[in-house]
């Protein structure tokens, strides 16, 4: 069956990425939720808030830190592919993956695994940077030139904040193709352009630049050029 892709919607200029995710998840009854790439949960801007929209939360991550995540009812150090291949997984109502797919070398394998563990009619929510935005484009070029980590050290003191990026699933067209191949039937998109997300990468006296860009996006309706992609796959 061909994927049905709704026209992307640009959320308002004050829309918060995590708040928008939680609100959207909350629109769909969720007893069991799977957080893909849950991480340690330390200083998580959304981990605790998932509690407000789900009865039980299982989190998986290939890194050991997930085992100490305080927001989870169950935690496993495992990849999505390994989790799905483990067999006898009771289907989840909802799965979330926040800032995960931009790091994947094999995004189709990840999305196919996610599809297999979400019940029919359930949802997979993805939150990820838009490669067509100035930040996504710059990050992709820096990664290609192998200068991403030195550049990040100029702007951030938390050197472990970023994992290597691949940007193989970071345009709406690419996400649609992957979703269809993975077996999803519908793609809904909400785009977010909030300048303060990108402030840490600008010197204080240059933060007017992302603010000016954001105003242009909202004023001119440049939906496809917004900084953050939030999608629901079902």
Domain that holds residue 139: 4-233
Which residues partner with 124 through β-bridges?
A: 95, 233
**Residue 34 pLDDT exceeds 70:** yes
Tokens 């050290």 found at:
153
Q: Answer yes or no: are the C-beta atoms of 9 and 190 closer than 8 Å.
A: yes
Strands 186-192, 4-5: parallel, antiparallel or unpaired by DSSP? parallel
Q: Answer yes or no: are the C-beta atoms of 172 and 8 closer than 8 Å.
A: yes
Residue 105: CATH number of its domain = 3.40.50.150
Number of structural domains in the chain: 1
Which residues partner with 231 through β-bridges?
A: 126, 189
Residue-wise pLDDT tens digits, 193-234: 999 999 988 999 999 999 999 999 999 999 999 999 999 999
Which residues partner with 118 through β-bridges?
A: 92
Query: pTM of this prediction?
Result: 0.92
Residue-wise pLDDT tens digits, 42-58: 888 899 999 999 999 99
């Amino acid at each position: 069956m061909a994927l049905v892709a709704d026209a992307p919607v640009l959320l308002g200029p004050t829309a918060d990425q995590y708040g928008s995710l939680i609100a959207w998840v909350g629109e769909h009854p969720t007893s069991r939720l799977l957080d893909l790439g849950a991480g340690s949960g330390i200083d998580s801007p959304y981990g605790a808030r998932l509690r407000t929209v789900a009865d039980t939360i299982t989190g998986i991550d290939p890194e050991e830190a997930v085992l100490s995540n305080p927001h989870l009812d169950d935690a496993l150090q495992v990849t999505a592919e390994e989790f799905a291949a483990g067999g006898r997984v009771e289907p989840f109502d909802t799965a979330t993956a926040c800032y995960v797919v931009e790091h994947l070398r094999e995004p189709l394998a990840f999305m196919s695994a996610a599809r297999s563990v979400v019940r029919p009619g359930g949802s997979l929510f993805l939150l990820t940077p838009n490669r067509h935005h100035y930040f996504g484009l710059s990050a992709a070029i820096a990664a290609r030139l192998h200068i991403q980590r030195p550049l990040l050290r100029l702007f951030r003191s938390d050197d472990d904040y970023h994992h290597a990026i691949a940007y193989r699933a970071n345009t709406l067209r690419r996400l649609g193709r992957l979703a269809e191949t993975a077996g999803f039937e519908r793609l809904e998109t909400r785009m977010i352009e909030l300048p303060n997300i990108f402030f840490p990468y600008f010197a204080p006296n240059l933060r007017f630049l992302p603010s000016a860009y954001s105003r242009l996006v909202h004023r001119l309706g440049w939906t496809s050029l917004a900084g953050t992609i939030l999608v629901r796959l079902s």
